[in-house]
Amino acid sequence: MTEPAAEPVSRSAPGLFRFTLEGRQAPALFVTGWLLTLIGGGLVAIDVLGGPSLVAAAMAVIGLAMLSAGFVLLGGSQAVERSAAGLAYPGPSPIVVFAAVLTVSLLVAVVIGVPLDLAGVHLDRAVGDLVSAAVQAAVFIGVVRVMVIGSGAIRWADMGFRIDRRRVVAALFTGAVYALPIVIVTALLSAIVVSAVGVTPESPLPPTGTALGLGLHLVAGAVIAPVGEEILFRGFAVTAWARTTGPTPAIVRAAILFAVAHVLTIGGDTFSTAAGLALVGTVARLPVALALGWLYVRSGTIWAPIGLHAAFNAILIVLGEMAVAGVGG
């Protein structure tokens, strides 16, 4: 799984922000990637400033498609340069891969959401949450497959996927055992931060008050989401960073990325409200994010953090539904 950092090499790979073609192994990837990223970003910015319309939606699709392709090509450029330099991790940066995941996710959301809106189709909240979780997990896994596994930088076996069934069950159970203590720590920390900031963020899977809603949210939050998120944030990000910085910094970096990723779409009536909600959401996710990374490195398999993540989400979903049922009763 995670490997110790290699001995220093004689030369380094040129970074993405070093705007020169001199010494580059893949200048076409570098130039095309930046052109698509800049043009795509400009189109998305114009769409945001221009307001909602059919033309704006088309511009958003084109811009997000160009942004996605740009990040993928820039990641490919990094992989070629790092491999040629003989670095310990010869693949794209987790930040670049996450940027690609973000833009592809937005692109898919627009491509699916706009036609449904135009057709007047409105999914039930729980059904919509399930579809969203499935699409997002597919994007996470697909982007990692193309940019990381496809480049040969990391294999599925390096993440500890390919173990026998008995070890899979044992790892899932081991991870689940840690869920309740982490939930308690998260609840205490969240209460402190909420009290200090004065705002409470809504659950990403708010309780529905129905048995069907509970079942759909358990599938979305405790089955589908943990697999996609653990592949991206632990299997890939922790493994990649651990090869260059060591396990502890890798766990911390991936935890911060995980926490920030969950608050990017948070908004509010005012800037202070939005900032407060983002702060609470980030701090509340750090305990479980750190625990997931630690468990991944300690166990040597991705199945252990998947077990913790699934049990953690399941407990929160069930507690939320119980609270609604209690209020309703």
The rounded average pLDDT for each run of 10 residues, N- to C-terminus, in the chain (329 residues) is 44 79 88 96 84 76 96 96 92 97 94 83 89 96 97 95 92 97 95 90 87 95 97 98 96 97 83 88 95 97 98 96 70
Report CA torsion sign: 277, 53, 57, 54.
positive
pLDDT attached to residue 41: 94
Are 272 and 163 in the same domain?
yes
pLDDT attached to residue 7: 41
Residue 198, by phi and psi: left (phi above 0), alpha (psi -120 to 50) or beta?
left
pLDDT attached to residue 143: 98
Are 192 and 87 in the same domain?
no
- Assigned domain for 129 exists: no
- Assigned domain for 135 exists: no
- Structural contact between residues 197 and 276, judged by C-beta atoms closer than 8 angstroms: yes
- Assigned domain for 139 exists: no
Show Cβ contacts of residue 295 under 8 Å, excluding neighbours closer than 6 positions: 174, 175, 178, 304, 305, 308
Residue 246: what are its φ and ψ, rounded to 5°?
100, 160
Are 118 and 171 in the same domain?
no
Q: Domain ends where: 102, 122, 142?
A: 122
- Assigned domain for 136 exists: no
Residues 151-182 pLDDT 10s: 999 999 999 998 899 999 999 999 999 999 99
Q: Domain ends where: 100, 122, 144?
A: 122
- Structural contact between residues 283 and 196, judged by C-beta atoms closer than 8 angstroms: no
Are 176 and 59 in the same domain?
no
- Report residue 133 as tokens: 């979780």
CA pair distance 39, 73, nearest whole angstrom: 14
Give Rg (Cα) of the chain: 21
Query: Which domain, by its residues, includes 204?
Result: 158-329
- Report residue 282 as tokens: 């980030």
CA pair distance 9, 39, nearest whole angstrom: 35
CA pair distance 112, 243, nearest whole angstrom: 38
Total domain count, the chain = 2
Q: Which residues of 306-320 are buried (b: 16+ CB within 10 A; e: fewer)?
A: bbbbbbbbbbbbeeb
pLDDT attached to residue 10: 41
Are 180 and 112 in the same domain?
no
- Report residue 40 as tokens: 């795509």
Are 100 and 177 in the same domain?
no
- Assigned domain for 144 exists: no
Report CA torsion sign: 301, 305, 310, 311.
positive
Are 115 and 199 in the same domain?
no
Which one-letter DSSP state was computed for residue 15?
P
Q: Which residues of 27-41 are buried (b: 16+ CB within 10 A; e: fewer)?
A: eebbebbbebbeebb
- Assigned domain for 264 exists: yes
- Assigned domain for 84 exists: yes
pLDDT attached to residue 223: 97
Are 169 and 224 in the same domain?
yes
pLDDT attached to residue 9: 41
pLDDT attached to residue 51: 66
- Report residue 56 as tokens: 């704006």
pLDDT over 70 percentage in the chain: 94
Residue 209, by phi and psi: left (phi above 0), alpha (psi -120 to 50) or beta?
left
Closest to 147 in 3D by CA, of 201, 186, 191, 93: 93
CA pair distance 273, 287, nearest whole angstrom: 23
Are 95 and 211 in the same domain?
no
Compute how many other C-beta atoms are within 10 angstroms of the C-beta atom of residue 227: 18
Residue 39: what are its φ and ψ, rounded to 5°?
-65, -45
- Assigned domain for 137 exists: no
